């Protein structure tokens, strides 16, 4: 089917995420782990521009590791565009330009943000007019973090992280992100977690195949109190990420010494997220870490999900 083109190009911005809480349960038969997580979308964005074209193509600029991003059907944004075209029976193509700010393989869902942005951009470019629920279904087929990048804000993810429910979060939280030049592969970190758990015998008898986010985490988000949230930050993948990247332990300590309330490895790492009491403290922490030669960024959350710009 061919649709009347509504625009020559569409620009969409989608946020990276931090996992404020990440509980990892047992592994299902299909290889996926049961998750209970709280995502928060933060003010570090991917920009995707979609232009009318006969074929499908993708270009990537920006991040230090942009070279590591595939430009073929392995690219999540390309897969998103093709999935939407198939679902809509659209017979044209699209030229996607991705401007990356979220670190590649950084545990911040940059590829997922690109996929969410590509869905929204192509839907507008092609005049597909899919409902948010239909776009959500397509997003879930692309990856566990993609639905969240579409919605943004603060949300609880269960199942594989893709069953989303909005979480009430009052006010704004200030974070300092410490990024790494070299990424960590998500499958490698999960495999390391399995290895560590096998070694310890943990979960061997009773692996929980369904998990919940602890109530105090949700209460802390509702309170809007950074000190309360700092006490609830937790990531079951952190020990595995630290096992692969022991230097991150020093990054966490350095952040606390510089004035952060608490720190956590985001998702599968290696990005470290440091929660600060307010914007001024966050700026001071960022500046101390930057002066010590670390890549540090001050961001805030929650922010909205994938949105058309301009």
The residues annotated with a catalytic role in the active site are 17, 145
Size of the site for ligand ATP (CB under 6 A): 23
Sole binder of ligand ATP in the list 35, 76, 218, 240 (CB under 6 A) = 76
Sole binder of ligand ATP in the list 19, 40, 75, 251 (CB under 6 A) = 75
Burial letters for 255-270: b for 16+ Cβ neighbours within 10 Å, e otherwise? beebbbbbbbbbbbbb
For residues 10 and 50, the answer to whether their CB atoms sit within 8 Å is yes
Q: Which is nearer to ligand ATP, 109 or 263 (CB)?
A: 109
Q: Distance of CA 160 to CAs 141, 191, 271, 272, Å?
A: 12, 16, 21, 22
**Binding positions for ligand ATP, 158-187, rule CB under 6 A:** 183, 186
Determine if 24 is a binding residue for ligand ATP (CB under 6 A).
Answer: no
3-state class (DSSP) for residue 186 = helix
With CB atoms as reference, the residue minimizing the distance to ligand ATP is 111
Q: Distance of CA 308 to CAs 12, 97, 122, 130, Å?
A: 4, 14, 11, 15
Which region, judged by CB under 6 A, interacts with ligand ATP, from 102-110, 171-179, 196-204, 214-222?
102-110
Q: Which is nearer to ligand ATP, 81 or 285 (CB)?
A: 81
**Residue in 22, 200, 52 with CA at minimum distance from that of residue 121:** 52
Q: Which is nearer to ligand ATP, 75 or 179 (CB)?
A: 75
Q: β-strand 56-61 against 33-53: which pairing, if any?
A: unpaired
Sole binder of ligand ATP in the list 15, 23, 111, 157 (CB under 6 A) = 111
Q: Which is nearer to ligand ATP, 22 or 226 (CB)?
A: 22
Structure tokens at 138: 């397509």
Determine if 267 is a binding residue for ligand ATP (CB under 6 A).
Answer: yes
In whole angstroms, what is the distance from residue 51 CA to residue 97 CA? 8
Determine if 69 is a binding residue for ligand ATP (CB under 6 A).
Answer: yes
Residues that bind ligand ATP (CB under 6 A): 68-70, 74-77, 98, 104-112, 114, 145, 183, 186, 267-268
């Amino acid at each position: 089917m061919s649709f009347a083109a509504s625009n020559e190009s569409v620009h969409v911005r989608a946020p990276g995420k931090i996992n404020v809480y990440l509980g990892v349960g047992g592994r299902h038969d299909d290889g996926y782990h049961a998750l209970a997580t709280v995502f928060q979308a933060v003010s570090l964005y991917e920009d995707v521009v979609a232009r009318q074209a006969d074929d499908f193509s993708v270009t990537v600029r920006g991040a230090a590791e942009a070279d590591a991003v595939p430009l073929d059907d392995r690219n999540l944004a390309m897969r998103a565009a093709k999935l939407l075209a198939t679902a809509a029976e659209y017979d044209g193509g699209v030229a996607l330009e991705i401007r990356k700010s979220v670190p590649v393989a950084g545990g911040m869902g940059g590829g997922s943000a690109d996929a969410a942005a590509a869905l929204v951009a192509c839907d507008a470019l092609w005049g597909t007019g899919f409902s948010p629920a239909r776009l959500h279904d397509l997003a879930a087929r692309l990856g566990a973090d993609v639905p969240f990048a579409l919605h943004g804000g603060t949300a609880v993810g269960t199942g594989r992280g893709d069953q989303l429910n909005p979480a009430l979060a009052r006010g704004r939280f200030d974070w300092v992100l410490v990024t790494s030049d070299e990424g960590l592969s998500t499958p490698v970190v999960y495999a390391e977690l399995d290895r560590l758990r096998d070694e310890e015998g943990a979960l061997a008898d009773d692996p929980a195949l369904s998990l919940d986010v602890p109530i105090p985490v949700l209460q802390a988000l509702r309170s809007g109190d950074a000190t309360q949230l700092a006490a609830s930050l937790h990531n079951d993948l952190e020990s595995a990420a630290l096992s692969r990247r022991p230097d991150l332990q020093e990054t966490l300590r350095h952040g606390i010494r510089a004035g952060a309330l608490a720190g956590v490895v985001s998702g599968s790492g290696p990005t470290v997220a440091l929660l600060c009491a307010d914007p001024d403290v966050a700026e001071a922490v960022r500046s101390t870490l930057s002066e010590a030669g670390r890549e540090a960024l001050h961001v805030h959350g929650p922010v909205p999900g994938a949105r058309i710009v301009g």
